[in-house]
Amino acid sequence: MQLLHETRRLAYAATHAIALGLFGAGVSAQPSHPLDGLSAEELSNAIAILRKDGYLTDDSRFPLIELLEPDKEAVLAWKSGDPVPRQVRVVVKQGSDTHRGLVDLGADTVVQWDAAAGESMIMLEEFLGAMDLALSHPAFAAALGKRKLTAEDVFCLPLTAGNFGVEEEAGRRIMKVPCYVLPSGSNFYARPIEGLFAVVDLNAGEVMEVVDTGVLPLPEQPWGYTEAEIEGRHGALRPETNPARLHQPDGANFKLHGSRIEWDMWRFHYRVDKRPGVVVSLIQAKDRDRWRSVLYQAHLSEVFVPYMDPSEGWYWRTYMDSGEYGFGLFLSPLREGVDCPDYALYLPAVLHQDNGQPLEIPSAICIFERNIGDPAWRHFEIFAQSETEFVPAEGRPWTELVLRSASEVGNYDYLIDYVFQQDGKIRIMVGSTGLDAVKGVASTSMGHPGAAEDTQYGTLIAPHLVAPNHDHFFNFRLDFDIDGTDNSFMRTGLVAAELPDDSLRRSLWTTQTVTPATELDARYRVNPETPAMYHVMNTNQQSGLGHHPGYMVSPLGSVAYSPLDSRNDPPIKRNAYIDFTHWVTPYDPLQRYAGGEYAFQSDGSDTLSEWVKAERPIVNTDIVNWYTMGFHHIPHMEDWPVMSTMWKGVVLAPFNFFDHNPAITSRLPKTE
């Protein structure tokens, strides 16, 4: 049984790219800036201070340890050589109790310790414990026996179960545990044991219930996705192709100074936190000889993935992947030549384990420049040509800097790119790939008598496998500081112009700008039927022509509408930010996540949609834009066994910020 337990432990860890013992203990430089990520030494020191002051027991576990950023004013006033203030927020789980502490590393003391206001993020130890509780329960073993399986044959995946106001679950820390037949190859999700799951109370360490809705046929194919498995299933692979490589023989054009990156017209800081993953701060653009502020900070706020199947084994699958699991913790090492070009710079991330000790994830971030052969701008002038001289098109290649990470949360892999362009734009892109979550069914084809019922809420993508419909929503917190902290949010809509009676034109459009006064007024849903631009502007500053500098916030292929009900449906109420594309709030350093500080089993009372009911003023003050992007996923056979990467995003584009196109001053690359 010990070997079996360790096999399951490694199987789970491999599925989530956190194999125990694979990653080092973390060696990182000491902080040189107030927004630097916590070093391995700082993580260890925070635990040591808590232990020294008597706050910890042998059973203490740490769902979250993160930097508490200094006040924005202090960060903006900080200069190199000044002392670096370092405070650490710690969430501590001790049995069924959860506490929140604040440790001042400089003062070597605990400055705050109180009961947490909600349930903490899940921990790897709890995953493994829930799996073992389920498999060791007699009723679960009997249900496996009905399917001619034993505990040695299966792999279980404990999942967060949300909060549906069920009286029996009140005050408990719940996970639901479905299982799969252990794979013979690479695909852990290909053979679900449908109709069977355990309900586990993590705090009590007990199985509350074993749910068995009936035996269904097990899928037979292993559906592996390695090259050898694909070749074995499909025969010979397509012929090898000649490589099409990007290369940078003279080295990178960006410079790394600690956690600050400088490239072309941009400079910014980065770090990695357990919950949001990569955090990008102090983003500035160089305008001639002056560095100008664009954003104080940008990071992932929350990820919401609700499945559209009302059956007993699926209705509760409404995950908050960032707040419940952690995009930073589930960063997976990037593979050279697959995830990033071979000339990219790869950087580690230092996070923490359940016991609070440092954990270094190698190659968690890559940085690279990209030129895919498109022009940033070009013009061919026909009137410049003559019989004796050919004047070629003038232009510049589209070169950009990419900061990339990849988080594997369960069956999905999410790549997040922060892309900086030479024309002053910033793109934030999310690439979704990995494996569809699949449900076992009786149908083997659409001609099967039960196929219509089996596919009512999804698509049959393989014999005995339905992939249920679902959504992916990503909310980003964009703290704009355009030429200073006092900004305003605006909607400029396209409206029909009123024309004089004697005009030969009978239709034109013009623009109409609205500046919402309070945060409730600033909720907007991007809708193609009512075209508009949404932008953040500093009305206290002027360009050379008297324009106020601003930045537009525009979608790149993401959804603008969801029919889900945030008033009556509990998981949607917890994630009501999906109702609107744009939200705007006054800056509040404690309001970092749209799903609230404690997402696990939250009730929606501490969320973005509730904060805005305060109707705080948002004109000419320090504001934050919360942007929701995403897509509706109706699966299809081409998704299986591995999905092609689907990219969605948002572009932040200068609007009267520069006096001219910034890309005009870029140079042609050196010739080899």
**Among residues of the chain, what percentage have pLDDT more than 90?**
86
Q: What angle do CA 113, 115, 120 make, to 5 degrees?
A: 110
pLDDT at 560: 61
483: which 2 tokens? 């030429």
pLDDT tens string 91-149: 999 999 999 999 999 999 999 999 999 999 999 999 999 999 999 999 999 999 999 99
Phi-psi region of 364 (alpha: psi -120 to 50; beta: other; left: phi over 0): alpha
**Among residues of the chain, what percentage have pLDDT more than 70?**
95
- Residue 387 or residue 151, greater confidence: 151
Q: Is the pLDDT of residue 667 over 90?
A: no
| Gap between the Cα atoms of 589 and 264, Å rounded | 30
pLDDT at 245: 79
What domains are there in the chain, each with its CATH number? 40-115 (3.10.450.40), 123-234 (3.10.450.40), 255-665 (2.70.98.20)
Helix (H, G, I), strand (E, B) or coil at 367: strand
Query: How high is the mean pLDDT of the chain?
Result: 93
- Residue 88 or residue 8, greater confidence: 88
pLDDT at 248: 85
Q: Is the pLDDT of residue 588 over 70?
A: yes
132: which 2 tokens? 């073992």
Instruction: State how beta strands 470-480 and 206-212 pair.
Output: unpaired
- Residue 561 or residue 199, greater confidence: 199
pLDDT at 20: 38
Amino acid in the structure at residue 548 = H
Helix (H, G, I), strand (E, B) or coil at 389: coil
For residues 203-230, one letter each, b for 16 or more C-beta atoms within 10 angstroms of the residue's C-beta and e for the rest, the string is beeebeebbbeeebebbeebbbbeeebb
Catalytic residue among 264, 321, 413, 436: 321
Residue 82: partners with Cβ closer than 8 Å, 6 or more residues away: none
What's phi and psi for 312, nearest 5 deg?
A: -65, -30
**What is the band of 668 on the pLDDT scale with cuts at 50, 70, 90?**
confident
pLDDT at 528: 85
pLDDT tens string 20-65: 344 554 445 678 999 999 999 999 999 999 999 999 999 999 999 9
Residue 293: partners with Cβ closer than 8 Å, 6 or more residues away: 282, 283, 284, 481, 482, 483, 484
Give one DSSP letter per residue of 334-347, joined into a string: PPBTTTB-TTSEEE
Pick from 15-29, 237-251, 309-323 the range whose average pLDDT is largest.
309-323
pLDDT at 177: 98
Active site residue 412: yes
β-bridge mates for residue 307, sequence order: 470
Active site residue 346: no
pLDDT at 329: 93
pLDDT at 335: 96
pLDDT at 669: 81
pLDDT at 12: 44
pLDDT at 334: 98
Mean pLDDT of 590-611: 97
Rounded to two decimals, the pTM is: 0.95
> Contact 420/426 with Cβ under 8 angstroms?
yes
Catalytic residue among 412, 524, 534, 551: 412
- Residue 377 or residue 582, greater confidence: 582
Q: Is the pLDDT of residue 513 over 70?
A: yes
pLDDT tens string 527-550: 888 999 999 999 999 988 999 999
Helix (H, G, I), strand (E, B) or coil at 613: helix
CA separation (Å) from 556 to 150, 473, 580? 48, 14, 16
CA separation (Å) from 234 to 211, 238, 264, 643? 37, 10, 47, 17
- Residue 544 or residue 560, greater confidence: 544
> Contact 237/461 with Cβ under 8 angstroms?
no
